[in-house]
Structure 1
């Protein structure tokens, strides 16, 4: 890490909230109802960090399936219902947010409604005054647009931003934005899973638990 960090950009799903297992299972169940059978490993490899447009295109290209117009809305509603009872923050994230000495924001492929709901459910809304979603840019991750948009809106040079991501698409987007990157693999969906991110980007800094965050980035902790 050669450049001072002035902004931390958090991905939401799988980084701040432990939502990816819930999201994957809801999608798997709904796709099974229309004859498309995938598992969590498939979701992990091809959908993690991507917006729904990318997911839809993959399903068409791979399974020759065109989703009903109502599918996305139905999926989001089912997932929000699941969030109400089962969603948790990632272990240790609150302590990190309480001790962070620089501004932070969220940049996520999820919808504004889903993100707002999720942060509210896990009582983390107060830490994120700024939330940026892929609906605000032309190209979602793995394109750098969302992270560059977040940096511009926050008034920080991209080289002085630290992006924390769990997905290959997100890490790719952050690197394309010329930002510093930390791959977080402490979410429930990463346990006993193939780490496709580490395989693709072995040079990227890696964190398995938030308890070690300030050991890697001591300058970011409030003194």
Structure 2
């Protein structure tokens, strides 16, 4: 086979927890007297919790109002609220055709890793009952720079023992696709051509992900 490994993003690819993130960030922003909407929430996709908070504070012209320690506490409070929302997550929340895709990869001995900016990734995979499909879950705190830097994808390739050139990266965010491209992997972008036209391959949804991967193999 041409490719020996696949490295997935989590939110928007394996499951769609974007709505939970939006609710949790909006809940925090309201407490800070900052307005955010769904369009603004799109700019938070693929980046870390601390970077997301900074963007929200800048949006409300309050980035200098809080100390670094206070910012950490704010980010933690958002995560605590987000975790209460995750309690609702079940295997029914897996994106369409993802289980079939993961089964295909396992049957063909293709190594699979997860490269998510979320520190909650292990918990989410457990809730979705998908943990056994992933050989590696990259800890986002183990890399120097988050997306759009390629660090997390490079670390994923290293942990599954493969050259990045032998891997495919799957993402739904602009920052994530940039990270894949800069790691010298082939990039599959899931979403609109308009937002992800820098990906090597763009598909509208996970419905055709398995077939797309089979063709690339």
TM-score (norm 2): 0.87
> Secondary structure of the equivalent of 1:198?
helix
1:51 match: 48
Indicate which of 88, 107, 112 corresponds to 1:104: 112
CA distance in structure 2 between the aligned counterparts of 1:89 and 1:210, rounded to whole angstroms: 10
The answer to whether structure 1 residue 83 and structure 2 residue 99 are counterparts is no
> Secondary structure of the equivalent of 2:2?
coil
1:35 match: 33
CA distance in structure 1 between the aligned counterparts of 2:112 and 2:88, rounded to whole angstroms: 27
CA distance in structure 1 between the aligned counterparts of 2:86 and 2:94, rounded to whole angstroms: 11
CA distance in structure 1 between the aligned counterparts of 2:104 and 2:157, rounded to whole angstroms: 21
> Secondary structure of the equivalent of 2:165?
helix
Report the CA distance between 1:133 and its aligned residue: 2.7
CA distance in structure 2 between the aligned counterparts of 1:6 and 1:123, rounded to whole angstroms: 24
> Secondary structure of the equivalent of 1:85?
coil
CA distance in structure 2 between the aligned counterparts of 1:121 and 1:219, rounded to whole angstroms: 31
Cα-to-partner distance string for 1:77-121 (whole Å, 9 max, x where unaligned): 11111111145211221111111121101011011xx11111111
Alpha-carbon spacing, 1:152–1:219, altered in 2? closer, same or farther (3 Å): same
CA distance in structure 2 between the aligned counterparts of 1:134 and 1:122, rounded to whole angstroms: 20
TM-score (norm 1): 0.84
Cα-to-partner distance string for 1:29-50 (whole Å, 9 max, x where unaligned): 2211211101111111x21000
* Structure 1 segments unaligned to the other structure (5+ residues): 186-194
Runs of 4+ more than 6 Å apart: none
1:123 match: 129
Indicate which of 62, 70, 81 corresponds to 2:73: 70
Count of matched residue pairs:
206
1:210 match: 206
The answer to whether structure 1 residue 95 and structure 2 residue 95 are counterparts is no
Report the CA distance between 1:138 and its aligned residue: 0.6
CA RMSD after TM alignment: 2.1
* Structure 2 segments unaligned to the other structure (5+ residues): none
Alpha-carbon spacing, 1:198–1:4, altered in 2? closer, same or farther (3 Å): farther
